[in-house]
Structure 1
Amino acid sequence: MRGTKPELRTDPDAIDSLPPPAWMTPEAAQEWRRIMPILTERRILTDADLGSVENYCMAIGTVRQMEEHLQTHGHIIEDIEGRMKRNPAVGIQSDAMTRSRLLAAELGLTPVSRSRPAIREDADDDGDDPLDLS
């Protein structure tokens, strides 16, 4: 994405820390438990954002599962005809890494996204809200 992102504001309806959903893999749940305190402390996470958090955690869980598979079986495997080919887990892991990186940026979990304008603790209401129709 190009351009500057708007400053994030705290939300009075921000959610508090939640346990990971029961259906998550252990790897995804581990990531959930790692990032939820960070996200809830910022007071910007609402119910509408939980899908992105779930998707991020699932992507990280997939990256970890594929890494475990690759460490066991290698990046190159032999097909049924004896030819060497790339392990499909390499592509799965790469796709999950891309998804997790994009979602991490949206959630403010990367160094670059954190270096953008800080979350404003007090809303500096200068009356110039272009969406205010009153």
Structure 2
Amino acid sequence: MGGTATVAGRGRKPKPTAQKKLAGNPGKRALNTCEPQFSTVSNIDPPEWLSARAATMWRMLIPELLREHVVALTDLHNVEAFCTAYDKWRMAEEAVQLFGIVVESAQGSPMKNPALTAANESMRQLVTFGSLLGLDPSSRSRIIGGNKQTSTNEFAKLLST
């Protein structure tokens, strides 16, 4: 199979047409003029079913993603999944801090704290959904943002102190 694979999980993912245009179409191949343009979002509150911590993460992420024009209406489930995974990861880490890495099994023998498994699974989900949203340095370098104004995110100020 030559070129870009279309089977999920195989080969390199195709670049969006907008990214190819901004790069000057270096491959000189015909551009996809039928690529879908999903509805953009100007602002959206966290879904009511999110936990308080997941909703806080939502309120931190959404302004940044919207400022860079990298999230559409069809991407909101990825934001929700990221925020939910973040909350689960934090809960699992708190359980590890509270009960330790090794806990007592029902038979009374030492065993690995099951919260470690939950923390690892949640962390993998964070990586997956964060990458889809451009939240890590590698995937961020592949995303083209549209607006370079300064951040107005109130939580970003906490990182600079």
CA distance in 1, matches of 2:119, 2:48: 23
- Counting aligned pairs with the same residue, the percent is 28
Give the residue type in structure 2 aligned to 1:28: A
Q: Say whether the 8 Å CA contact 1:7–1:119 is kept in structure 2.
A: no
Are residues 1:54 and 2:80 paired?
A: yes
> Which structure exhibits the higher relative contact order, with contacts defined as CA atoms closer than 8 Å and separated by 6 or more residues?
1
Task: Identify the match of residue 6 of structure 1 among 15, 23, 30.
Answer: 15
Gap runs ≥5 in structure 2: 1-8, 20-36, 148-161
Correspondence for 2:68: 42
Task: Identify the match of residue 64 of structure 1 among 79, 90, 101.
Answer: 90
With normalisation by structure 2, the TM-score equals: 0.66
Are residues 1:109 and 2:127 paired?
A: no
Are residues 1:31 and 2:57 paired?
A: yes
With normalisation by structure 1, the TM-score equals: 0.78
Are residues 1:92 and 2:111 paired?
A: no
Gap runs ≥5 in structure 1: 122-134
C-alpha change, 1:3 and 1:119, in structure 2 (3 Å) is: farther
Give the residue type in structure 2 aligned to 1:6: K
CA distance in 1, matches of 2:137, 2:17: 16
Q: Say whether the 8 Å CA contact 1:8–1:120 is kept in structure 2.
A: no
Across the aligned residues of Structure 1 and Structure 2, the Cα RMSD in angstroms comes to: 2.3
CA distance in 2, matches of 1:24, 1:117: 27
How many residues are matched?
Answer: 121
